[in-house]
Amino acid sequence: MIKELSAADEESEPLTIESLCTRCLQNGTTILMITKISYFKEVVVSSFSCPHCGYENRSLIPASQVQDKGQRITFKVNNVKDMNRRVVIPVGSTVSIPEYDSSFPFSDGVVSTIEGIITGFIDNLNSLQPERKEIQPDLALKIEKFIDQLRTLLKVDKPFSLVIDDPSGNGFIENYLAPNDDPQIEIETYVRTPEQNELLGLQSQPVEPLDDNVHLAFQLLSSNDVIFTDHQA
């Protein structure tokens, strides 16, 4: 069920199972596919769809353990070809675009491309614009301007940076020069904070075993959220 995946070959053998829809509590379908990305590792891609209410959800589960350290991947996008680079963004990561002082938290893991990630930002922001225009017109105007800036990025009229802050250490941006180093990709590792360890379900230091009735619970930010400051292009 594991095969090599390249930009030209995205087929693999899926596993289809019936599963409960969390929205309408009817049965939907989950498709699981284990994929090995060239020069990276195995990931599990999960896609759920419900024929009753139309709810869909796609997520990524790395088929590997959380790494000893988190990592911050900085990628310099220089041309349109770079937009096709494959990207793995683990759950709990934050993607930022320094040129626009913006950051996007991810509540689900994602396998996509640079173009797909930015297009996803645009779609998520657009989806709530009708409500914003009714309730917060000033904010809606600001976000509309930001959406236009993101659309401009897709053309790559000028270079820009994309940064993945990945506490799990399992993130990835495709290296066109692999197995050699790519000068456009800079990877910095860091020691996770106690909060990040908790988010990942880890303990920052050895403690006494927990009672069976004690459970760790946490709330992840929606991937629809965006944090940004007003920035003049």
pLDDT of residue 204: 47
| pLDDT of 33 above 90 | no
Asked, for residue 32, whether it belongs to a domain, the answer is yes
- Between 21 and 217, the more confident residue is 21
In a domain, 121, yes or no: yes
The answer to whether the beta carbons of residues 193 and 203 sit under 8 Å apart is no
Interatomic CA distance for residues 199 and 201, integer angstroms: 6
In whole angstroms, how large is the CA radius of gyration of the chain? 19
Instruction: Return the percent helix, strand and coil in the chain, to nearest 5.
Output: 25, 35, 45
> What was the pLDDT predicted at 61?
67
pLDDT at 212 over 70: no
Regarding whether 82 and 55 lie in a shared domain, the answer is no
Alpha-helical runs (H) found in 44-187: 114-127, 129-135, 137-155
Better pLDDT: 218 or 65: 65
The answer, yes or no, to whether residue 26 has pLDDT greater than 70, is yes
Task: Tell me if 162 is assigned to some domain.
Answer: yes
**pLDDT tens digits, 145-176:** 999 999 999 999 999 999 999 999 999 999 99
- Structural domain ending residue among the three candidates 37, 62, 87: 62
Q: Are residues 152 and 185 in the same domain?
A: yes
Average pLDDT, the chain: 80
Predicted confidence band at 217 (pLDDT cuts at 50, 70, 90)? Answer: very low
pTM score over 0.85? no
* pLDDT tens by residue, 36-75: 666 566 677 778 899 999 888 777 666 668 889 999 999 9
Does the pLDDT of residue 140 top 60, yes or no?
yes
CATH code for the domain in which residue 36 is found: 2.20.25.420
Q: State the total domains in the chain.
A: 2
Question: Same structural domain for residues 97 and 32?
Answer: no
- Tokens representing 33 are 């596919």
Q: State which residues form the domain around 135.
A: 70-200
Domain boundary residue, one of 62, 84, 119: 62
Is the domain of 145 the same as that of 52? no
Q: Alpha-carbon distance 109 to 166, whole Å?
A: 11
pLDDT at 210 over 80: no
